[in-house]
Copies of this chain bind each other. A is one copy, B any other.
Amino acid sequence: VANKISDIGEFGLIERIKKTAGKIPKNSLVILGIGDDAALFKLSPGKICAATTDTMVEGVHFDLSYTSFGDLGWKVMASNLSDIAAMGGNPMLALVTLALPAKTSVKQIDQLYAGMRALAKKHGVVIAGGDIVKSRELSITLALLGECDPKNAGLRSGAKPGDAVLVTGDLGGSQAGLDLLKSKINPSAPLRARNQKSNLIRKHLRPEPRVAEAKVLASRFKLHGMIDISDGLASELHHLSKASKVGIIIDQGALPVAEQAIVIGKMLGRDPQKYCLYGGEEYELLFTLPPREAIKARALIQKQGTACTIIGQVVKGGQVSIIAQNGKREKLTNQGYTHF
């Protein structure tokens, strides 16, 4: 039995991936998948193409001591899906680039694809090609392609003074989950405690990108500003403010702080509000709409079973500020994860 990918070689690995990546479903807009020089797909009538790419590097984005290959596949798919969602788009196909140390096992690659495929299938995405190369450092890069309405894309530059600012889901759970994973809290604790832990860290390892929610928004509203939360709420608010040339005022009391952030914050002595404002990898949608539309949008998203909260408003100017619990308004620090 082949254990390492070096036992089956590059082309053996590609043959195996052809199987594990899954077939192209009937009626798919994807015409040609894995196996040629490029993948081919068509767009629905009147649509344009949305293209994004996101990469994860071992030791920078994930640690294999607490991330399974399945988690890794899921997460890199989630981060790309979240970008297409943030345009109000419909994701269609992915190209997967693996940079792999020769010692990587065939089973690990199977698990990686199982994780990617589980989330891809949920959102109708076909794994249609990619590249596999040898490297010392493990990394995975996805390019994700989808389609969106040319007249209704969610842009960072679309926020308008007077808009309400909304966010899906709750915030702070991912970073709190990461801190719990990094902490020395015994992972071989009794079953109930482990399940509890696993609930707490699910948001970090298996985030749910808001693709369905974004589709509802795009189909029912004229989109204004939209961005996904990958570097943290504060950082994304600054991106929106800069690109749209507007100010934003956030009401700290309205922030949907994740229960995990509160529980883990208590366990580790950290501030849940900081998790909520500065924690990355949330993959929630941050968007703006005129107040009446915002209220309708919130109701529609909640109807889908996803939390949705109005957390502030767009104003003229260029400053991002926050009204603290004590009523005092202050500048919101532009702080989040940055490489380099």
Contacts and interface: CB of A to CB of B under 8 A. Distances in A.
Interface of A: 5-6, 8-11, 13, 31-32, 35-43, 48-57, 59-61, 82-84, 86-87, 89, 93, 95, 97, 99-100, 102, 128-137, 139, 141, 143, 145-146, 148, 150, 153-157, 226-228, 243, 338-340
B340 A57 contact: no
Nearest to A39: B51
Contacts of A228: 37
B55 A50 contact: no
A257 to B, nearest CB: 24
Count of identical protomers in the assembly:
2
Contact of A243 (B9, B35, B156): B35
6 contacts: A37-B228, A38-B50, A55-B99, A55-B141, A134-B340, A139-B139
A139 B41 contact: no
Given A59-B136, A60-B134, A87 B38 contact: yes
B35 A156 contact: yes
A77 to B, nearest CB: 15
B60 A38 contact: no
A58 to B, nearest CB: 9
Nearest to A230: B37
A319 to B, nearest CB: 18
Contacts of A143: 51, 53, 95, 143
Centre residue among A10, A38, A134 by max chain B CB count within 10 A: A38
B55 A133 contact: yes
B134 A339 contact: yes
Contacts of A56: 133
Contacts of A154: 37
Given A10-B339, A95-B143, A135-B137, 11 more contacts: A5-B340, A6-B340, A37-B227, A38-B52, A38-B87, A40-B51, A57-B134, A60-B134, A97-B141, A99-B139, A137-B137
